[in-house]
């Protein structure tokens, strides 16, 4: 495996991009789908924002350093990565907060309909934000397994809310087919791109998506708790009313009027004062992913995960794959089921192979294609095989569950 990995790395057209990330020594990082690596350009950019823009120019930087435009500027750079127009995407708040804004806006655009349809086992915050509106008396949550979603679309459904790549299994939804089914039923669609944006092709325009959100700290490498992004299709922008109507989403924030009047376009998605440190770091990550390009990232992602599976097959380790076997049907990850997934994950982390565990029994390996090597795949599998064959995961220190893994 090692020899083959060396050849694959030597031939990898993206191989040199690894140098642009601060990948720590002695670590094989298979968790870029949870927190992306630090781009080497980020510390210097943050230093500039903090020491120069904040420290020296102070309040003037809202204009002179264009802080005030950062949500739009970063959004416009994310847009082509997800098949949107620059004025359809804005970077702000968290995924959760943006979900609330857009679920609420969708309900207002479909008067008489109150159901928000999703699948059980969707990423928890997506389901919880529907519950928030349910608690307000404004929505009803309906869950249907993914193969029964089309049948659950009826006249009561205002919105179909789905995550493109499932966080546990990586299984992809067919965005075109499901968006069409929802539209045929008179519903809108809100896509959560957290586990796909920045690693796989997403084409919001081609599937005629209405609304979307995505995460800044996974494949976009924006740093821990980075701002998220929100997409509103141009055709919906004029009618969109979202209830987190803060001053930065006002048509004239500095007129200090008592009455709210929404800004034109996607700007009305803004609420409070934009988090400048977070946005500046996110911009560096987005620039780097845009420079590499989604198509080559996707090709390498598929190649990496298939090579991982080959290595695993040759190693003789048997693990139940819960991700789709067809790389075209999964995100940039492979997940396996094992009753001792937690302990195995901990034993691997002790060896410097960082994957993650998802309750109750999922061992998840993410393949961020921008900075991983084929050699990392071979080495990760070698360690996994040793952990399984020696049974070292059964040692006591690997048996307890921590809060965040």
Q: Is 125 annotated as a binding residue?
A: yes
Q: Is 229 annotated as a binding residue?
A: no
Q: Is 57 annotated as a binding residue?
A: no
* 70-78 vs 276-292: helix crossing angle, rounded to 10: 20
Q: Is 273 annotated as a binding residue?
A: yes
Q: Is the dihedral of CA 383, 388, 391, 392 positive or negative?
A: positive
Tokens coding 102: 């857009």
- The least CB distance from residue 230 to a copy of itself, in Å, is 12
* DSSP state string for 155-212: TTEEEEEEESB-TTT-BBP-HHHHHHHHHHTT-EEEEE-TTTBTTB---TTTTT--EE
Does the active-site annotation cover 93? no
Q: Is 123 annotated as a binding residue?
A: yes
Nearer to a copy of itself, 157 or 213 (CB): 213
Q: Are 366 and 33 in contact (CB under 8 A)?
A: yes
Does the active-site annotation cover 358? no
Placement of tokens 């708040």 in the chain: 93
> Phi, psi (5° rounding) for residue 383?
-65, -40
Nearer to a copy of itself, 97 or 153 (CB): 97
Q: Which of 218, 268, 300, 330 is catalytic?
A: 218
Closest CA to 242 of 398, 107, 350: 107
Q: Is 261 annotated as a binding residue?
A: no
Rg (CA), the chain: 22
- The least CB distance from residue 106 to a copy of itself, in Å, is 13
- The least CB distance from residue 344 to a copy of itself, in Å, is 17
Nearer to a copy of itself, 198 or 327 (CB): 198
Distance in angstroms (rounded) separating the CA atoms of residues 334 and 325: 9
Does the active-site annotation cover 123? yes
Nearer to a copy of itself, 85 or 96 (CB): 96
- The least CB distance from residue 401 to a copy of itself, in Å, is 8
Does the active-site annotation cover 218? yes
For residue 244, what is the DSSP state? Answer: -
Does the active-site annotation cover 128? no
Q: Which of 364, 367, 374, 376 is catalytic?
A: 364
Q: Are 334 and 321 in contact (CB under 8 A)?
A: yes
SS3 content of the chain, % helix, strand, coil (to 5): 45, 15, 40
Nearer to a copy of itself, 250 or 298 (CB): 250
Q: Which of 93, 192, 356, 376 is catalytic?
A: 192
- The least CB distance from residue 209 to a copy of itself, in Å, is 21
- The least CB distance from residue 167 to a copy of itself, in Å, is 8
> Phi, psi (5° rounding) for residue 229?
-135, 155
Q: Which of 17, 21, 100, 123 is catalytic?
A: 123
Q: Is 298 annotated as a binding residue?
A: no
Nearer to a copy of itself, 168 or 298 (CB): 168
Binding-site residues for pyridoxal 5'-phosphate, in ranges, read 96, 123-126, 163, 192, 195, 217, 247, 273
- As annotated, the active-site residues are 123, 192, 217-218, 364
Binding-site residues, in ranges, read 96, 123-126, 163, 192, 195, 217, 247, 273
């Amino acid at each position: 495996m090692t020899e083959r990995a060396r050849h694959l790395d030597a031939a990898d057209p993206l191989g040199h991009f690894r140098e642009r990330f601060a990948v720590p020594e002695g670590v094989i990082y298979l968790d870029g789908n949870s927190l992306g690596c630090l781009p080497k350009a980020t510390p210097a950019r943050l230093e500039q924002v903090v020491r120069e823009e904040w420290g020296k120019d102070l309040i003037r930087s809202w204009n002179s350093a264009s802080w005030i435009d950062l949500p739009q500027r970063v959004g416009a750079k994310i847009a082509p990565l997800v098949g949107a127009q620059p004025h359809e995407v804005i970077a702000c708040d968290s995924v959760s907060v943006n979900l609330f804004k857009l679920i609420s806006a969708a309900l207002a655009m479909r008067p008489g309909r109150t159901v928000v349809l999703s699948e059980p086992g969707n990423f928890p915050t997506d389901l919880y934000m529907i519950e928030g509106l349910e608690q307000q008396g404004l929505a009803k949550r309906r869950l249907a397994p993914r193969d029964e979603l089309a049948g659950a679309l009826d006249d009561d459904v205002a919105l179909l809310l789905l995550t493109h790549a499932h966080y546990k299994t990586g299984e992809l939804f067919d965005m075109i087919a499901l968006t069409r089914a929802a539209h045929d039923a008179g519903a809108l669609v809100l896509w959560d791109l957290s586990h796909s944006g920045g690693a796989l092709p997403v084409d919001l325009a081609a599937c005629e998506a209405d609304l979307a959100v995505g995460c800044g700290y996974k494949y976009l490498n924006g740093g821990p708790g980075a701002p998220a992004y929100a997409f509103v299709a141009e055709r919906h922008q004029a009618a969109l009313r979202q209830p987190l109507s803060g001053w930065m989403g006002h048509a004239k924030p500095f007129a200090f009027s008592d009455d709210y009047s929404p800004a034109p376009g996607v700007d009305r998605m803004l609420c409070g004062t934009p988090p400048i440190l977070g946005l500046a770091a996110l911009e560096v990550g987005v620039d780097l992913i845009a420079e590499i390009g989604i198509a080559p990232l996707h090709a390498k992602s598929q190649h990496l995960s298939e090579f991982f599976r080959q290595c695993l097959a040759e190693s003789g380790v048997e693990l139940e794959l819960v991700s789709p076997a067809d790389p075209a049907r999964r995100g940039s990850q492979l997940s396996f089921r094992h009753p001792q997934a937690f302990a195995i994950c901990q034993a691997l982390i002790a060896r410097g192979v960082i994957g993650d565990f998802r309750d109750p029994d999922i061992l998840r390996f993410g393949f961020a294609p921008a900075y991983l090597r084929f050699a990392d795949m071979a080495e990760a599998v070698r360690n996994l095989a040793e952990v399984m064959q020696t049974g070292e995961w059964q040692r006591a220190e690997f048996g307890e569950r921590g809060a965040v893994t």
